[in-house]
Structure 1
Amino acid sequence: MRGSEEDSDPEEALDDWFIESLKTYKDLHVYQLEHPTRVLEWTSGKTVCVAGYSASSKNEILELSLPLRLLAEQNKGLCAQRDFKVVHGGFSDAPVHSLKHIPGTRCAVSSDGVNSSLQIWDLGGDDSDVIRRSSCIEAKCESSDGADTGGRGGSREGRGRRLAAPLAPASEPRVLHGATTDDIQLTDIGTGRELYRLACAESEPLSCLQFLGDGAFACGSVNGSVLVADSRSSAAPVRHAAPAAAAAAARSSEHGEWSAAFHRSAVVRSSVSGQTVVSDLRRMDRCAAQALVEVDGGKHRGSLNVSWAPALEHYIALSGSSGLVQIFDTSLWGAELGPAHAQFEHRGHTVSSPEDDAIVTSHAWHSERPRTLLSAASDASVHVWDWNSQSERRE
């Protein structure tokens, strides 16, 4: 918590926030997991997967349905179900650091954050409420000097593998995955066959990996650079350098790491130091907009997450440096670097954490509901919330 809340009683601060939330949120629902999750993966417009990432015990993988009250367009007060509901569940022997649902299937792919193996999961159906691991793919990875690293390709950077699912169902389900820019592969899920491998001279740890179309994809590195390629072509990827001053920041500051997200032809890159840059993938030689955002006083304590709102033009969400999820309207930013304040802040994880030090581990926008987001924190809480547009800060 910040400001005067730091000196107040935690229960009193929580009560004050809930009273405030009656005006600032259209909907707000809180759920408590047994263990924290880094995964918030939509499996439909009404269901989401979560999974534990503990290295010391078995981890639950759950598919939760959203509260019916949230989904009701009218007469919300008549909805008896006001909580999340477990519809499918299972266990993983390994931690789940990332997970992607494959469109058009009841299948998901996960990575444990340590090695290059991928776990394939059957999410169950109407005839079964059990999530089972159906197979495992051992991705063949090569280091930048050409040496075969076997099943440990992801561990050389200590980050595990980033995953990307196609935007639409395919006749042969597949997944794009990689730990570094020279280690990106497209794999057939059913056979484990490698369909494509990116030929890239640079080896930079990935911060994100995302499909842009049928075969086109983009990735961002933790150094701030962006690569754009197409799995249907043997052409070399197009590499775009990090935003201006990013290289200098990486050399001079411990807060030089970047995260990125793509939406249509736009890319947003955000550094844990607060510099956030919006660019057009068709004109990467210039900055479309940028700002220096508030990131909890510059105290980076988690893994930075940035994402575009799929149904709200120009909006992004930032989390990972604190217990907050911050919403920004990038249309208010200029071409010159200047300070920007969040249009809205979700503080629920901060005020509800018993230890008062919860860090947001993940957030996800709803694909169709413009202001609805899910967020999860290190205290094992999961929130789904729809903020009231009237509560936005106007700059």
Structure 2
Amino acid sequence: MDEAADWLVDSLRLYRDLHAFELPGPTRVLEWTDNQGVFVAGCESQKRNEVLHLLLPPKLCAENQGLCPERDFRMKHGGFSDKPVYNLKHVPDTRLLVTSGPPGNSLQVWQVAEDSDVIKVVSTIAVHGAESSLWPKIAVLTSEVPRVLHGARVSDLHITELESQKTLYMSGGSDSEEEISSLQVLDADTFVFCCASGRLGLVDIRQKLGDSKRTASNPGPGGEQWCAAVRTSGQGPGPTIASLSTSGQLQLIDLRDLDHPVTTVQCSVSMPSPDWELLRVTWAPTLDGYLAISGFGGTVQIYDSTSWERNGSHVEPLFIHKGHLFMDGTENDLLSLITTHAWHPSKPRTLLSAAADASLHVWDWMDPCSSC
């Protein structure tokens, strides 16, 4: 209790803004629509889960915050899913969403109503060869015609046109049955996948199927699971891929050489991740070289990769968000486990984070080195 009280006092100097909310249930997805709206969706089994479009508190969006006493999220649209939502992607410049979750035999395509507050399923895309124990990871490709990239294993990656449900690409002929942990689109024709084993692949769909992949030959150390994130071309120079393991090892990798990490460091985590599917690493959209990681407990850690001096070193976070441990009265470590986090698209040090106890935080952290 003393630790919680100390943190609450410290929070006055640690944050510019800190807001805590409670969702109807835990979520694994935080998907921005713009600078003021975010989609969340429930991930619980054997119940109907809400899919919500929430607007940020006006206080966080106004330039003159003194004129905005309202500090809560507002629901703009909502709907219900009959199965858990483990992945949700908004199709840019449309009112469409794509979701997936167990059982993994289909993707759901949703539409956000223009003249009401309803989000509803408008079509379902069957996933061939799906296994009930796995669910397809998804990413949206930018093009005039909305398309979705999806797959649970390297051998069953597909690109499907949302409206016609026509298959535009499939990874047929691949002998890899490795499970996909994350997918990220680079442009209309290329994407990167990360396997749970740590193996990375770069795919160009314009090439012949047999030559379309460039993969790292050496996966991560045995017994660990990995996820990865690619930073966009506008986020400065340096390594493009950040790959994170369940033990807290973090590798920075250049897209041109997937076999040889540029840097490998050990993050300061107190325990291995208890659920590798909740492992997250994300690049800050507007802070060059900054990363956030979560999935190891009830905290989100911020790192500045530009300050790492040597390969193989143990690195300390620049900032740790501990709010989910102390603000919601949670004494159970599993309930405070972070399920996902996301950087704000344009506010440099503002993040959202969600935990297994259904808490949702929005926080703008102070850079401890800003006054150095």
- Given the two structures, how large is their TM-score scaled by the length of structure 1? 0.86
Shift of 1:154: 4.2
Contact in 2 for aligned 1:291/1:334 (Cα 8 Å)? no
Shift of 1:20: 1.6
Shift of 1:390: 2.8
Secondary structure at 1:18 match in 2: helix
Shift of 1:297: 3.2
Contact in 2 for aligned 1:257/1:272 (Cα 8 Å)? yes
RMSD value, Cα:
1.9
Deviation digits for residues 266-324 of structure 1 (CA, Å, limit 9, x no counterpart): 11111111211101111334322221112223363552111111211111111011010
Q: 1:193 matched to which residue of 2?
A: 166
1-structure distance, mates of 2:92, 2:56:
19
Contact in 2 for aligned 1:290/1:333 (Cα 8 Å)? no
Corresponding residue to 2:147 among 174, 177, 187:
174
Corresponding residue to 1:343 among 290, 311, 318:
318
Shift of 1:13: 4.2
Corresponding residue to 2:84 among 82, 95, 108:
95
2-structure distance, mates of 1:300, 1:59:
24
2-structure distance, mates of 1:266, 1:242:
18
Corresponding residue to 1:258 among 212, 223, 226:
226
Deviation digits for residues 44-101 of structure 1 (CA, Å, limit 9, x no counterpart): 221001111111211101000011111223x212213211110101111111111110
Corresponding residue to 1:138 among 102, 119, 126:
126
**Residues 299, 160 of structure 1: CA spacing in aligned structure 2 closer, same or farther, 3 A cutoff?**
closer
**Residues 222, 301 of structure 1: CA spacing in aligned structure 2 closer, same or farther, 3 A cutoff?**
closer
Percent identity among equivalent residues?
Answer: 39
**Residues 273, 368 of structure 1: CA spacing in aligned structure 2 closer, same or farther, 3 A cutoff?**
same
The one-letter amino acid paired with 2:103 is V
**Residues 284, 93 of structure 1: CA spacing in aligned structure 2 closer, same or farther, 3 A cutoff?**
closer
Corresponding residue to 1:26 among 6, 16, 22:
16
Shift of 1:34: 1.5
Secondary structure at 1:223 match in 2: coil
Contact in 1 for aligned 2:180/2:195 (Cα 8 Å)? yes
**Residues 159, 331 of structure 1: CA spacing in aligned structure 2 closer, same or farther, 3 A cutoff?**
farther
2-structure distance, mates of 1:216, 1:207:
17
1:352 aligns with 2:341: no
Deviation digits for residues 190-249 of structure 1 (CA, Å, limit 9, x no counterpart): 111111112433221111000011211000001111110122332321111346xx3xx3
1:219 aligns with 2:193: yes
Shift of 1:363: 0.5
- Given the two structures, how large is their TM-score scaled by the length of structure 2? 0.91
1:164 aligns with 2:153: no
Shift of 1:361: 0.3
Contact in 2 for aligned 1:287/1:335 (Cα 8 Å)? no
**5+ residue gaps in structure 2?**
233-238
Deviation digits for residues 7-46 of structure 1 (CA, Å, limit 9, x no counterpart): xx2xx54443232212111111111011111111111221
Corresponding residue to 2:106 among 104, 117, 130:
117
The one-letter amino acid paired with 2:19 is H
2-structure distance, mates of 1:365, 1:260:
16
Aligned counterparts, 1:228-307, within 5 A: 228-234=202-208, 235-242=211-218, 246=220, 249-250=221-222, 253=223, 256-264=224-232, 266-298=240-272, 300-301=274-275, 303-307=278-282
Secondary structure at 1:296 match in 2: coil
**5+ residue gaps in structure 1?**
1-8, 141-148
**Residues 281, 339 of structure 1: CA spacing in aligned structure 2 closer, same or farther, 3 A cutoff?**
same
Corresponding residue to 2:157 among 142, 166, 184:
184
Contact in 2 for aligned 1:31/1:383 (Cα 8 Å)? yes
Q: 2:117 matched to which residue of 1?
A: 129
Contact in 2 for aligned 1:363/1:373 (Cα 8 Å)? yes
Contact in 2 for aligned 1:344/1:392 (Cα 8 Å)? no
